[in-house]
Amino acid sequence: MIFVVGILLSVGIYSWQSRMFQKDQMTEISPNQLQQKIDNGDNFYVYFYSPICEQCIKTEPYLKEAVKKLAVKNIVKVDVQKYEALRKQYQIQGTPTIYVYNDHKLVKGITGGFGNLNDYVEFFQETGGAM
């Protein structure tokens, strides 16, 4: 009986965690993967953040909500604390920063994030949304 309860709890926790991670539509990638996307000419957004950045922590819920609301599929994220050299390579002045790449080129970027959902929604709509 205890064994069965343990299995059910384990399955329930795994299922809950899977749903929680599925809600975050921003896949974390490495610098090599980022460069490969640029070299391939992919159209995408990249969210540069740091897990200890107060502004990132404050604004990320709005960003995630906008991504979910608009079904933005082509957004990735990179931890600049983990990959410090990226700051200089991609001229990242601060975090959070979102860059928009189209056909091998950086076409738009914002630094500092937005303090509300509507500004993120507007940003994605102006830059092609789900491109």
Torsion of CA 102, 93, 77, 122, to 10 degrees: -60
Q: What is the pLDDT of residue 23?
A: 54
Asked whether the predicted pLDDT for residue 46 surpasses 50, the reply is yes
Q: Which CATH number fits domain 24-127: 3.40.630.30, 3.40.50.410, 3.40.30.10, 3.30.590.10?
A: 3.40.30.10
Which pLDDT tens digit goes with each residue over 10-33?
444 444 443 444 456 899 999 999
Q: What is the pLDDT of residue 34?
A: 98
Asked whether the predicted pLDDT for residue 107 surpasses 80, the reply is yes
Q: What is the pLDDT of residue 13?
A: 47
| CA Rg value for the chain | 17
96 versus 10: the higher-pLDDT residue is 96
Asked whether the predicted pLDDT for residue 102 surpasses 50, the reply is yes
Q: What is the pLDDT of residue 25?
A: 82
Output the average pLDDT for the chain. Answer: 86
Write down the pTM of the prediction.
0.80
Map out the domains of the chain as residue ranges.
Answer: 24-127
